[in-house]
Amino acid sequence: MFKGIDYFDLESGFSSEARMIRDSVRDFVEKEFLPIVRDHYRAGGFPMQLIPMLGEMGLLGSNLKGYGLPGIDPISYGLVMQELERGDSGLRSFASVQGALVMYPIHTFGSEVQKERWLPALGAGKAVGCFGLTEPDHGSDPAGMKTKAVKDGDHYILSGAKMWITNGSVADVAVVWAKLDGVVRGFLVEKGMKGFSAPEIHSKLSLRASVTSELIFDDVRVPAENILPGVQGLKGPLMCLTQARYGIAWGAIGAAMACFDEALSYTKERKMFGRPVASFQLTQAKLADMLTAITSAQLIVLRLGELKEAGKMRPQQVSLAKRNNVRMALTVARTARGMLGANGISDEYQTMRHMCNLESVDTYEGTYEIHTLVLGKDVTGIDAVS
């Protein structure tokens, strides 16, 4: 089984439960996911048959408590995300969206009726959810959203569109953010509601083993009881994104580990000029840089997890972790691809699949540039955007 990278013996500080959870997810990825991911990546679809297994293992909304959910600690949750993304960013994205972007807002802002109806089903993988915030013309500026809701008796009339929505075409429920009287509110839009459609986006060159969709709302009548009562304004979706970005910061390490491990194994076995490629100084320098970058990223998320557990984690700290770790993983993947030479462009190897995926991860849920500005504002007190 994959051993992972732990140059600073961080595992010795993990609880026995955290190690057990990580190992069980690592085993699942090794046995159930990796043998099939290439076919799904080629075909451009998510392995839907694994969703019930993710539910049975408690990997959907695993850090939430109550309603039959495991309520694991932040570091254990991070290790789950790390191991899922070692398989593929699409696998981690599915679990991340389901838990952090769908179950979390229902758990945090929903009514008791909404919680009882959706959380057990979503946690068990018997229902799938998606998160509708990004719009065709408003990605990094969610405040400019055009999707709106109008009160009409005991319903809201929802109109507008969302774009680049993970799980959209297969979702049973969409957590949709729209402006109601100029104020951002959250709505639970259910599959089959008249006027609601979710066409899948095809021809992707990244995140191919994942379902990505548009959400279209053509005067959709949403029952009044489907509004999330516990939040108003952009605070709601931004709180959800903070939860998801925490998982991404851990997940990116898994992708980097996979690429490093493949490059190390390949260069030790591959011979050139009568010697293993790993024996050359330039190769060893690359491996040392990759190892250092991965270890630094591990230390960042470990401390972030400790802050989260203590209730002291700030969104800006999550921005630093997401920004650093995803760009780190992308750099590691690009370096590893080069170390594999021409073989690196073949899907017989996993590195280029991770590299292509990470191009999307570097962009979604806050681009590298947006997180740069978040940190700039935090340290200077000056908003470079407004």
Torsion angle of C-alpha atoms 196, 202, 205, 208, degrees rounded to 10: 70
pLDDT digits (tens, 9 = 90+) for 152-168: 999 999 999 999 999 99
Tell me the average pLDDT of the chain.
Answer: 98
**Alpha-carbon torsion, ordered 352, 353, 358, 364, to 10 deg:** 150
Dihedral angle, C-alpha 256, 262, 263, 266, nearest 10 °: 180
Same fold, 10-123 and 129-226: no
pTM: 0.98
**Residue 194: its pLDDT value, please?**
98
Give the pair of three-digit tokens for residue 179: 């402006």
Range with the lowest mean pLDDT among 117-121, 136-140, 261-265? 136-140
Superfamily of domain 10-123: Acyl-CoA dehydrogenase/oxidase, N-terminal domain (1.10.540.10)
If you average pLDDT over residues 253-257, what whole number do you get?
99
Residue 385, pLDDT score = 87
pLDDT digits 0-9 by tens, 52-103: 999 999 999 999 999 999 999 999 999 999 999 999 999 999 999 999 999 9
Topology at the third CATH level for domain 129-226:
Butyryl-CoA Dehydrogenase, subunit A; domain 2 (2.40.110)
Task: List, in sequence order, the alpha helices (H) in the chain.
Answer: 16-28, 34-43, 51-56, 74-87, 89-96, 104-109, 112-123, 235-269, 281-309, 315-339, 351-361, 368-380
Q: Is 365 tagged catalytic?
A: yes
Task: Identify the active-site residue in 225, 309, 365, 369.
Answer: 365
CATH, domain 237-380, list 3.30.530.20, 3.50.50.60, 1.20.140.10, 1.10.645.10: 1.20.140.10
Asked if 90 and 208 count as a contact pair (C-beta separation under 8 A), the reply is yes
What are the residue ranges spanned by the domains of the chain? 10-123, 129-226, 237-380
